[in-house]
Every structure is written in structure tokens, then in C-alpha cells.
Amino acid sequence: MPGTESLIGQTISHCLIVVKLSGAGEVCTRALDWSHRVPRLRGVLLVQAVALVFVALAPKAQAQGLATPPAAAASSSSSPADRVYRNGVIFTADARNRTAEALAIRDGRIVYVGSNQGVAPFVGASTASVDLEGRFLMPGLVDGHMHPLEAGVQLLKCSLNYESLTIAEMQQRIQTCLDHSASEDSNAWLEVVSWFQESMRPAGVKTNRATLDALKTTRPILVISSFGHTALANTRALALARLTASTPDPIGGKIWRDDHGEPTGLLEDSAYAVISDLLPKPTDAEYVAAAKAALKAMSRQGITSFLDAAAALESMSAFTAVRRAGGLTARAHFAPVIEPKEAGDLPGAVARVVAFAKQYDDGAIARLPGITVRNAKLFLDGVIAAPAITGAVREPYLINAGTAEKPHWVPGPSRGPAVYFAADALATVLVELGRAGIDPHMHADGDGAVHAALDGTEALRKALPTADIRPAIAHDEIVEPADFPRYKLLGTIPVLSFQWEKPAGDTLGLTNYFGPARMKILEPAGLLAAAGARIAFGSDWPVDKLDEWFALKVGVTRTNAPSAPPEYSGRLGDDPGLSREAVLRAATIDAAYELHEDDVTGSIEVGKFADLIVLDRNPFKVPAEEIAKIQVLETVVGGNIVYETSMVSGVR
Ligand SMILES: [Zn+2]
């Protein structure tokens, strides 16, 4: 394995993923093995107020005084609600984080939020009345950054589900997939995804093609690691790809070899791209099936709105097909990518996004979930997720000037790659997007890229001081403290994947390259919040398994799971983390703000669409660690139940 220090500032080896930006070379970005399957990515998602009688359920709320007098009482008895919820703990995520006991829904909108007594007049003969029996209800989750089509494609594949497996368990899982697809042709590829290679048991155990050759099949098999930079092929797959002892390592890739020079089956980066290029691309029908699978997974987690943060044409088209068939169960927002190679014609690039909007955007948010194209994605750098260190940083990465035995880490020559868009080009494209009413969503991992994104936003604000544009900077894994206040000043939203804020290989692996001062402020969610930033949550699924509740838990604790290896115990850095209230707001009202739908979703307030979830436990009351175990019992979008378990239906 090449030393990771040699990768600083480089772009390909050891990368989580290589995104090919034609004309601009290749960049490494935190993403997964799906890039090769999606051409675009390879080329690299009032109503009047009625009685608002809130009941005191939290001491803080009590102190605020909850009894808000009815503003304009609706004639509730003459038009009963379609559905009411009673006897709950309702976290509203309104401006005062008030809690309530009951709510009423009519025609997909919330018409009452308040007490059990207050909701009574809304109950008519045809009203479905749900007794929550003290259960917790809150706004549906809004996921401000994910890659749903790619995630859905993975869901349909044979998956090792990011689990820590022994070789025997791995073989058994893959054999099961083979047995379940026994009707497949003997030449049909089996692609296996979400292999947590780094976590195989026992620690350090090695896999090779023999691991796969032992299976009862003649089919070619490719197993792709969840980090997206390694794959394992069986002998049949190597033969079909003509990878032999005499095949040189391709640029940006490595073929692992045995003592005789024969490929072992382990392939890195561009070396496995040689094989993955042989795999059939999903058909349109498979993309539609992938979109449906992704939506189903989202509903189970309680997601009612999402952003496809690098939307390929295939994604907009597949989700549109699902919407037309009446199957869209979450509000879908799409951010097509503007690539650095388009710097020569930025108005043309923006026009291309506007054309997508004309074709796919369904207009104003309505009761039934629709599609919007009101965001554009710009990658500004790579990643700083060890062992891939390709983020643009303000101060140089450290290098080892000593020996392996006696390391001595000193500032090296590299600050990572130049920010992918030059300052003037970034300013131009942001202003053009602003004029077109498109919110920029910028990928910036390193503090150099973050600084550039903030500078670009400053130019945008100067040019269009009154425009309601909501620029977002995704990831923000390291931010120069001087830039903390600029998020608030410039109205720029950090979109954070809270699950990264824990001791783990990808964070602690940076220690040598960053040094102690930067490690203290890695993943600075709490520091950004303290500086007044409005933080939105984005899962980045499928870079990680979709587990919103684990992510929200980490946002509070900044600790790994209790089952993690001992070297990953304790908190990450000095950042104070976020309060429970703050993580829930980030994944509801503040992400709704990011997606420009906070006027109609994101909180439980009269007049808004009834996008809500019921949970099996109260995230404010359980030990913080238990937030990770929360189960969603029911998911409602625009008043329609899109997911439910017997636990809620049973209490009706
Ligand atoms: Zn992403």
C-alpha cells in the first residue's frame, strides 16, 4: 500500500471515489462506488392560525409561557379534521421549540396544534383519531444532502450491509445472493456492495480471490468496499477483464499481486474501474426501481424531504417517473452539478440547470410530494477523510520528516489541490445562479475550500443584496476559526453529516497530517452553531449507511457507537457538539430552510403541510446514546401515511 503521506494534495490513489471532471482532470470526493454507474456523476439530489394552546411539556417551554391565545378560531366543528393525534409529546420545532399534546390535520395541512381539550372540537364522525399514548411526534426529517438514486441502486444489489464479518460470514452472504439469483446466466455478473473491508473479523484478516472462488458458482463476482476505493474480484472476473500478471497497474490504481505477480483479486481505484466498466449499466426500469427502493428506505427512517446533492439526469427522470405513477413519498429536491470545466461558459452552465428546472420542477410545494430543481451543486475540493486527504486547506498538511520509528511531523509543501473553481469564476457562477433563483450547494471539505465558498457568497451578497438565495456549504469538515462568524453574516448554511463527528478511522487517521490544533476543531458543528450559523443536516447516504438516528446521536455525543473498537472511544476533539434540540432542528426546520420549503414544512405549525413522524421513544428523555436506537413508527407526508408499523396502528 502506498504511504498515505504521499497522497497529500494528490487526487486519485486511496480516494474514496474518483470523480472524473472531463477537461479538469479527476478529483477525489467523498462518495462511493456508484459514480461509475451514473454518467453525470462519472462526468463526475396560509392558512389562518387557529387555536394555539400549547401545553407545557418541557420546563423550558413552561418558562416561555405556552398559552398563545387563539389568533382566529377556525370553525372547527363545521368542518371536522381528517385525522387528529392526541395524548402525545409533540415537538413542534417552531421558532420557540414549543411542545404540544395534540394536533389536527385537514386536507393534508395542520389545522390545530395544542392541547387534548383544544383538539376535541375537530373530531367529527369521519375523523381518524390516534391516541399516541404518550409517544413522541415531531416534524418529518428533512435530509439536506444525499445521493438517493445511487443509494437505491445499491439497495437493489447484493449487499453486505456495512457489517463487520468473518470470511465465512462474507462467503455465506454472497452465496445466499447467488442462490437467490440461481436463474441468472452463468456469465451474469454478481455485484456485491457495502463491504466494510476495514472492519473484517478478526482484525487484519486478508481476503483474496480464493475467498470468492470457493463459492458454488461460475459467475464473475465483484465485491466493492463501502469506502469505494477497493474491490475484490474472483478469478472469473479477473479473466473477463483480462487482468493478469503481465497487466501493469493503471494510472491511479493498484492491482494487488501474489509472490508470482498474479493478481490476488484485490483492486484499488482505477484498477477496479477496469472491471466495473464491464458491468451492465442499470436500465431505466432499474433506475425507477432504485428510486422506489430509496423512497421506501427513507420513509422507514422518517425522511419526508430530501436533496439529491449531485443530481444526474437519470435521477430526476427516475423520480419523475415515480411521481407520475403516484409513488413519490417524500418531497424531492435536485441539485444538478456545474463542473469546473464549464468555467469557460458559466452563463451556459447556469442555463443548463435552468433548463432542467423547466423540464422537471413541479413548481410550488403542494400537498402531494413533487419535484424541485432549485439548487445547483459545485465541487470545490476533495475530501479530508483519511486515508484520502485531498481537501483544499489553508495551512499545509504535515509530512513526516523523521522515520517510521521516530516520526517527526512538520509542515510540508502541500495545501492540497487548488480550489476547483477560481475565485472570479466562483463569484460569477454564484451571481448567475442567484439571478436565476437557484441556490448554490457547494462541496467544501477543507478550510481552504470553505474560505473560497464564503468569499464567493460574499460576492453574491454584494451583487444581489436583497435576493432570497440560500447558499449551502456541504461537509465543512475543517473551518478556519476566523471564518466561523461568516456563515451567519453571509446567510450561508453549513450542511453537516453528523455521523462523521466521532472518533473513527477517517477522522483520527488525520491526526498526523493536521496536527493537534486542527484536530481539536475537526467537524466543528458546535463551534459553528455558537457562532450563529444555521446548520442543516444531510446524511450523504450512501457514503454511509442510511441511519439518520445514529447520525443525530453522534451530533449530540460526538462519540462512536458503544460497540466500536476501544481505540475509537471518547469524544472527537474539543467541539462541544450540539444540543438535542439543535440536531432535531437541523434535520427539520433548518434543512427545510436550506431547501426553501420552510414556509410550508419543517415544523408542526398551523397552516403547514402535515409532514410528521411518530417515534418509539422521546429523544429528549432517553440517554443520549439511545437516540441511535430510535425507531420511526409512522411517517406522514402531506397528511398521507407513507409508512407505519403496527405499534401506531395498534393504538388507534
Ligand atoms: Zn455527497
pLDDT of residue 53: 37
Residue 262 Cα, ligand 1 centroid: separation in angstroms?
Answer: 36
pLDDT of residue 269: 78
**Cis upstream peptide for 220 (omega within 30°):** no
Residue 75 Cα, ligand 1 centroid: separation in angstroms?
Answer: 46
Q: Where does residue 19 fall: left (phi above 0), alpha (psi -120 to 50 degrees), or beta otherwise? A: beta
536 contacts 471 by C-beta, under 8 angstroms: no
Strand partners, 442: 378, 473
Would you tell me how many other CB atoms lie within 10 Å of the CB of residue 652?
9
Residue 236 Cα, ligand 1 centroid: separation in angstroms?
Answer: 33
Residue 30 Cα, ligand 1 centroid: separation in angstroms?
Answer: 7
424 contacts 430 by C-beta, under 8 angstroms: no
Long-range contacts of 408-415 (CB under 8 A, 24+ apart): 409/512, 409/513, 409/515, 412/5, 412/8, 414/8, 414/9, 415/9, 415/448
Strand partners, 141: 303
Q: Hey, what domains does the chain have and what are their CATH numbers?
A: 150-276 (3.10.310.70)
Residue 568 Cα, ligand 1 centroid: separation in angstroms?
Answer: 24
pLDDT of residue 183: 86
pLDDT of residue 217: 96
Residue 145 Cα, ligand 1 centroid: separation in angstroms?
Answer: 6
Cell of 240: 473477463
Residue 603 Cα, ligand 1 centroid: separation in angstroms?
Answer: 25
Residue 543 Cα, ligand 1 centroid: separation in angstroms?
Answer: 7
Residue 240 Cα, ligand 1 centroid: separation in angstroms?
Answer: 32
Residue 147 Cα, ligand 1 centroid: separation in angstroms?
Answer: 6
Residue 300 Cα, ligand 1 centroid: separation in angstroms?
Answer: 21
Tell me the C-alpha distance between 200 and 171, whole Å. 12
Residue 39 Cα, ligand 1 centroid: separation in angstroms?
Answer: 16
Sheet of strand 141-146: strand arrangement: 141-146, 303-308, 331-334, 371-372
Q: ∠441-442-444 over CA atoms, to 5°? A: 150
Residue 536 Cα, ligand 1 centroid: separation in angstroms?
Answer: 14
Residue 647 Cα, ligand 1 centroid: separation in angstroms?
Answer: 34
pLDDT of residue 42: 24
391 contacts 452 by C-beta, under 8 angstroms: no
Task: For residue 355, give the nearest of 334, 332, 373 by alpha carbon.
Answer: 373
Tell me the C-alpha distance between 270 and 274, whole Å. 7
Give the phi and the psi of residue 466 in degrees, each rounded to 5.
Answer: -105, -5
Low-confidence ranges of the chain (pLDDT < 70): 1-78, 387, 647-652
313-324 vs 346-360: helix axis angle to the nearest 10? 20
